[in-house]
Structure 1
Amino acid sequence: MKIRRLVIYDIESKPLLKGVDLFFEKGTADIINANCFIGINGSGKSQILEVIIEIFLYLDNIFRNENKLDAKKIFSPFAFRIEYEISLNNEIYLIIFDCSELKTSFKKLHIEILKRSNDKVENLDVNSLNIVDFIPTKIAGYSSGSNETLSLPFDSYYDEYAEYTWKRAKKIKDHNDYSDIDYDPRLYYMNYNTNLGIVISSFIFKDELPEFEFILKELRIKELNSFVISIQTLGPQSPNRNKGGVILTPELELWRQKLINISDENIFDEKHQLNTLKFNINDETRLAFKDNFSSALELYTCLYKLELLNNLIVDKTTRDKIKKERKERRLVTKMPIVSDINKVLNYSELKFALNDDSEINYLSLSDGEHQFMNVFGTLLMINQENCLFLLDEPETHFNPIWRKKFIRILEKITSNRKLDVFITSHSPFVVSDCKQEQVFILKRESNNKISINRPPKETYGTAFDNILEMAFGVNPPISDNSLEEIKELQNEDDPDIIRKRLNDFGDSLEKATLVNRIIVLKEKEDI
């Protein structure tokens, strides 16, 4: 998977991006050549990730085989062109979707699929193909903070899935009709709330995840000791409490029963149809999980799909109102937060053994440690071919050592995999490990226009001073208070005053100018 070109012909919701036309280098085949967007706040970095997600959400809505939406009601989110390569059965395909007008029917969507083989290019008949096979297998988004707009396409996707699951489960219950099938999500949004499922799944299947031991070493964690999962279908605010609350599909009911069977203790509350499941992790427990789930991703998908049903706790009137507002793009609207007491799925009491055999609760870990497990655990766990990762400031809570290692760790755990990665960052640590052709500097020229350019010089291995100047115009790389004091002293005519202040400042080129200033003033006195 590799995106090669992105064009935004016209867009109403993000006018900054109108006219953007970006080309992405293919790079080396056996390592990840992450595309890195850097620039000040408000320059449009996150918006580029957002439009990529919106494009693939639009394509998934049109072409997926399950839970098909009414094609007459599906319109392009904006006018765009996207070109990307995908590898299927050891063959390389170039996929082109072009929608040159705003809010057009999918019938006006131009599609090209070209097969590349032995230096030959064959233009395939798209009418004979199942287009969904040529869409990225998984699209994972990550945000280090509460980036509301980045999460919106995912929220819309989750709402559709939760409602589909509800309708399907009710149809099966009322009519014993199994005509519809369940399906795994294509879009995954990773933030602080989803991290617990990632941690549990990754630790249980750590032996099957290459390089996971590398993550444990960095975190100084030996093992996941225990955790608790609560699954509830008749909470205090469950919809239709008098008719059974949240109904699970046969697939989800089977998964719930598997988790119950694996658990060391199941505390059942009949009033709320609540199973509180306690797990102590040992060789037997890990083996039981592996007997019931084929991989870390399948276990995580089980937890994730149950967690998405939390959306059903919000009353339908509110859900419909928010869906309408999102569609009209009037505001950035998220579903109300569901309290733990009402959730269908809830995690608690995650405990780890550290290398010194002491025990620590997940909540006691730092934000940086949470982020480390979330970002790299996701990249390890979602290990299928043709995946796309869109990471919005994934290293913000890292210490300088981890920031310095970020790209190296990324490449180490994803080597020889066919996937693509887009990163936004403010960090020179990240940029210094990216080649010049992979870096895009965004600058806001006016309220309705941005410029996107590659750096004028090579960034790979360059000093941070150069990156700060190229990307942010920071030169010299010294904070304002100390720099202003140094500038005042540079205009001082008394060498003794400058000399008395020298020890107030650390070493820098600017401090060296003060030493030169003393020498010049002394020479004048001697004349």
Structure 2
Amino acid sequence: MKLLYIKIDSYKNLDNFSFTFSNTQTDLFVGKNGSGKSNFFEAIAEIILHIMGEKSSLDYNYTIKYQLDGREIQYSFDSNASKWKNNADDEIASIPSIDQPEYLLFYYSGHNQFFPNITENSNNKVKRNIRNTNTDFSRRFWGISKDNKKLLLYTILLLPSSNPARRIIIEKLGIQAIENKVSLKLKRPDYANNESYNIDPIDPETRYWKAKGKAKAYLDSICSVSYRATDETEVIDTGVMNNNTQFIHPFNLDTFQHTFQETAPLQIFEMLDALNTIGILEDIKFNLILNNDQQIATSNFSDGQYQTTYIYAMKLLFSKYNTISLLDEPDAFMHPEWQLKFFQDLNSITDNQTNNNHLLISSHSAASLVNYDGIKVNLFRVINEKVKCHPANRDFALKQLATNAFRLNTVDDVISMIYTCNRDKKPILFLEGSTDPRMIETAWSKLFDTEIPFIPMMTFTCDFLRRTIIDERVHGQLANLPIFALFDFDEAYNQWDSVIAKHDPRMHISEMDPYKGLMRQFSDQCYAFLLPVPDIQEIKDLVIKDHQTNETFKGNSLMSIEHLFYSEEHRDYFKTERIAGGGQKIKFIESMKTKFAEEVIPTLSNDKFEIFRPLLSKIKEIIQSHANESV
């Protein structure tokens, strides 16, 4: 299945919203929080459930066009009439099954209850059908939770070693080998709430606490696989245990793979999902040996490692079925190295010619975007108070990730962004504030006629800035390129100074004039600056303690980057506080940071940026010197 076009009359902040999808089986969406991206995913989920007959009605109109089994299908829904119109403009009361998707999958990292609620309703329906009937019943939509992330890993590990998704996941998890002995562990389910459900070892009708219907059929199928001990002295836990609250069945992995070799991977997952939903599946114990020879269980893997598992597993299991998958930030907890290969690995799992699973993915990860194979990504923005989504150049989206559109909260996030910088072979100037990159770019354009030779990147706090520039991983990712950091001249002075004192005795002062921007170099690669002090008396008094010697207040100074542009004309962006003993403190109003950068900075004359010339010229000189040395 492939979505082609959707129009939504009114859903939350989506007003007369329309979108045309790309011609690939994967569409990537990026956007700020509140831009409508999550609401778009919710609306698609509601519309697909409505088409599948899993949701009785909707209170908004929509039009949806999609490909299914080689056919192009379009339906328009009128919420007032509670009816659809098809391609031929015929009015119909329900969508024929031949035009319906087979599955809807979703993973949602937000906090509202939309997806959890429909997942709970699905679970209740599964419980009723699986336990009590022998009819074939398949869940048509899944919400990926902590429980079925584990089930997806179990399913992948049970597949033959030749399976591509299994190979990728084993490599990502650093698994060297999987022991042949596997144990299915069942627990007493809630329905078995009295002794009449106890398992009698000699009465087969009581096995699995009298499970019925498809649940019993699934359990019989798995438990038909036996275990052959390699050591006659091995003690094997098997059968009912722990006062009739647990049942253990060991089996050989290779025997299971042979027995189920004709079974589709999705059917194996559905069996495990059904048993988990009725509360009878406790665990499947695999003995895994990692590349460092450490032996662990699947429960030892982190959330990030499970995150990797489920996205690849979902693509594999549903690739042959008409499926829509909505994945909200699935790469959020992945290691940056995994993010970098995320889309490459995703594309290697299935052949796009046989892939019927349309993946809609949102991401805030720069590393994931770097190797995204589509030239365009879909960018959500609010323009004139209206939500818009349009294709954007991938590099433009990467730049949005590096500026104030998205936050970089950990050094790992910064390392992710460095992958993008290495593509252009440019150094980085790390900065504190979200709008600082815009100011530095403007300063360069006002002062120099050449292209800016570095990439300005924010880190948001002076502590994070310090931790970033001393991190060996950052140095490694930038190879021989110089690294720069620009600290505000306030309490950030202490962070600037602590780098020098604690991390490299070779660090020396290269610029001692605070009016040019104090600079110290540590290592052969990294240079740390403090903001230059402008020739504005009110601002000099916030930094300079002795105007004869240029001694500063150090960490008690009070100058941020906006202070460099202080003037009577823009006094409204600052507030003045009187201090005991006379004098005053001039503070920039933080809530006006974005407005100042967007509305004031671009209007300033070139001479207002001369304060940056010595500092930027020094950076330019260092970059050229490193380039000459590398030739």
* Matching residue's letter, 2:73: I
* Residue in structure 1 matched with residue 13 of structure 2 by the alignment: 16
Give unpaired runs (5+ residues) of structure 1. Answer: 63-72, 113-122, 170-177, 310-342, 522-527
* Residue in structure 1 matched with residue 258 of structure 2 by the alignment: 287
User: Quick check: 1:400 aligned with 2:336?
Assistant: yes
**In structure 2, do the counterparts of structure 1 residues 519 and 95 end up closer, same or farther at CA, with 3 Å as the change threshold?**
closer
Q: Distance in 2 between matches of 1:280 and 1:141?
A: 33
* Matching residue's letter, 1:201: T
Aligned partners of 2:130 and 2:215 also within 8 Å: no
* Matching residue's letter, 1:300: F
* Residue in structure 1 matched with residue 482 of structure 2 by the alignment: none
**In structure 2, do the counterparts of structure 1 residues 520 and 210 end up closer, same or farther at CA, with 3 Å as the change threshold?**
closer
Q: Post-superposition shift, 1:244? A: 5.3
* Residue in structure 2 matched with residue 74 of structure 1 by the alignment: 56
Q: Distance in 2 between matches of 1:210 and 1:42?
A: 37
- Look at both structures and tell me which one has the larger radius of gyration over its CA atoms: 2
**In structure 2, do the counterparts of structure 1 residues 130 and 459 end up closer, same or farther at CA, with 3 Å as the change threshold?**
closer
Provide the secondary structure at the position in 2 that maps to 1:454. strand
Aligned partners of 1:204 and 1:289 also within 8 Å: no
Q: Distance in 2 between matches of 1:388 and 1:276?
A: 36
Aligned partners of 1:191 and 1:374 also within 8 Å: no
Q: Post-superposition shift, 1:4? A: 1.0
* Residue in structure 1 matched with residue 222 of structure 2 by the alignment: 259
* Residue in structure 1 matched with residue 390 of structure 2 by the alignment: 453
User: Quick check: 1:61 aligned with 2:35?
Assistant: no
* Matching residue's letter, 1:207: S
**Bigger relative contact order (CA 8 A; separation at least 6):** 1
* Residue in structure 1 matched with residue 30 of structure 2 by the alignment: 38
* Matching residue's letter, 1:251: K
What RMSD in Å do the two structures reach over aligned CA positions? 4.0
* Residue in structure 1 matched with residue 358 of structure 2 by the alignment: 420
Q: Post-superposition shift, 1:519? A: 8.7
Equivalent in 589, 592, 614 of residue 517 of structure 1 = 614
Equivalent in 90, 105, 126 of residue 161 of structure 1 = 126
Aligned partners of 1:144 and 1:371 also within 8 Å: no
Equivalent in 82, 98, 116 of residue 151 of structure 1 = 116
* Residue in structure 1 matched with residue 562 of structure 2 by the alignment: none
Equivalent in 454, 459, 465 of residue 399 of structure 2 = 465
User: Quick check: 1:138 aligned with 2:138?
Assistant: no
* Residue in structure 2 matched with residue 390 of structure 1 by the alignment: 326
User: Quick check: 1:95 aligned with 2:87?
Assistant: no
Q: Distance in 2 between matches of 1:412 and 1:376?
A: 10
Q: Post-superposition shift, 1:273? A: 7.2
1:7-34 CA-to-partner distances (Å, cap 9, x unmatched) read 21123xxx1123221111224xxxx4x2
Task: Spell out the pairing of 1:489-508 with structure 2 (5 A cutoff).
Answer: 496-497=513-514, 498=516, 500-503=518-521, 506=526
Percent sequence identity is: 19
User: Quick check: 1:223 aligned with 2:177?
Assistant: yes
User: Quick check: 1:301 aligned with 2:274?
Assistant: no
Aligned partners of 2:130 and 2:274 also within 8 Å: no
* Residue in structure 2 matched with residue 411 of structure 1 by the alignment: 347
* Residue in structure 1 matched with residue 66 of structure 2 by the alignment: 84
TM-score w.r.t. structure 1 length?
0.69
1:135-192 CA-to-partner distances (Å, cap 9, x unmatched) read 22222222457664333333322222323445x54xxxxxxxx7xx332222122232
1:490-513 CA-to-partner distances (Å, cap 9, x unmatched) read xxxx96235644438956999999
**In structure 2, do the counterparts of structure 1 residues 154 and 59 end up closer, same or farther at CA, with 3 Å as the change threshold?**
farther
* Residue in structure 2 matched with residue 329 of structure 1 by the alignment: none
Provide the secondary structure at the position in 1 that maps to 2:521. helix
- Bigger drift between 433-442 and 93-102 goes to 433-442
Q: Distance in 1 between matches of 2:383 and 2:458?
A: 25
Task: Spell out the pairing of 1:97-246 with structure 2 (5 A cutoff).
Answer: 97-101=75-79, 105=82, 108-112=83-87, 131-143=96-108, 148-165=113-130, 168-169=132-133, 181-207=135-161, 209-225=163-179, 226-232=181-187, 235=189, 237-238=190-191, 241=194
**In structure 2, do the counterparts of structure 1 residues 163 and 284 end up closer, same or farther at CA, with 3 Å as the change threshold?**
closer
Aligned partners of 2:185 and 2:281 also within 8 Å: yes
Q: Post-superposition shift, 1:463? A: 8.6
Q: Distance in 2 between matches of 1:404 and 1:287?
A: 35
* Residue in structure 2 matched with residue 49 of structure 1 by the alignment: 41
* Residue in structure 1 matched with residue 247 of structure 2 by the alignment: 275
Aligned length: 430
* Residue in structure 1 matched with residue 3 of structure 2 by the alignment: 3
**In structure 2, do the counterparts of structure 1 residues 502 and 97 end up closer, same or farther at CA, with 3 Å as the change threshold?**
farther
Aligned partners of 1:43 and 1:450 also within 8 Å: yes
User: Quick check: 1:443 aligned with 2:460?
Assistant: no
Provide the secondary structure at the position in 2 that maps to 1:193. helix
TM-score w.r.t. structure 2 length?
0.59
Q: Distance in 1 between matches of 2:529 and 2:397?
A: 15
**In structure 2, do the counterparts of structure 1 residues 136 and 519 end up closer, same or farther at CA, with 3 Å as the change threshold?**
closer
Q: Distance in 1 between matches of 2:512 and 2:528?
A: 19
**In structure 2, do the counterparts of structure 1 residues 259 and 469 end up closer, same or farther at CA, with 3 Å as the change threshold?**
same
Provide the secondary structure at the position in 2 that maps to 1:206. coil
* Matching residue's letter, 2:272: L
Q: Distance in 2 between matches of 1:511 and 1:485?
A: 7
Aligned partners of 2:105 and 2:141 also within 8 Å: yes
Aligned partners of 2:182 and 2:284 also within 8 Å: yes
* Residue in structure 2 matched with residue 352 of structure 1 by the alignment: 288
Q: Distance in 1 between matches of 2:394 and 2:159?
A: 37
Aligned partners of 2:486 and 2:530 also within 8 Å: no
**In structure 2, do the counterparts of structure 1 residues 259 and 437 end up closer, same or farther at CA, with 3 Å as the change threshold?**
same
Provide the secondary structure at the position in 1 that maps to 2:41. helix
Q: Distance in 2 between matches of 1:134 and 1:60?
A: 9
1:62-106 CA-to-partner distances (Å, cap 9, x unmatched) read 6xxxxxxxxxx922264322111112xxxx21122221326x64x
**In structure 2, do the counterparts of structure 1 residues 273 and 133 end up closer, same or farther at CA, with 3 Å as the change threshold?**
farther
Aligned partners of 2:486 and 2:528 also within 8 Å: no
* Matching residue's letter, 2:255: E
Aligned partners of 1:209 and 1:381 also within 8 Å: no
Q: Distance in 1 between matches of 2:19 and 2:530?
A: 38
Q: Distance in 2 between matches of 1:436 and 1:442?
A: 17
**In structure 2, do the counterparts of structure 1 residues 510 and 400 end up closer, same or farther at CA, with 3 Å as the change threshold?**
farther
* Matching residue's letter, 2:64: I
Q: Distance in 2 between matches of 1:126 and 1:450?
A: 30
* Matching residue's letter, 1:9: D
Q: Distance in 2 between matches of 1:422 and 1:440?
A: 10
1:302-339 CA-to-partner distances (Å, cap 9, x unmatched) read 11112222xxxxxxxxxxxxxxxxxxxxxxxxxxxxxx
Q: Post-superposition shift, 1:423? A: 0.5
1:427-453 CA-to-partner distances (Å, cap 9, x unmatched) read 22233444777422223569x853333
Give unpaired runs (5+ residues) of structure 2. Answer: 199-208, 228-236, 407-433, 438-455, 466-484, 491-510, 533-609, 619-631
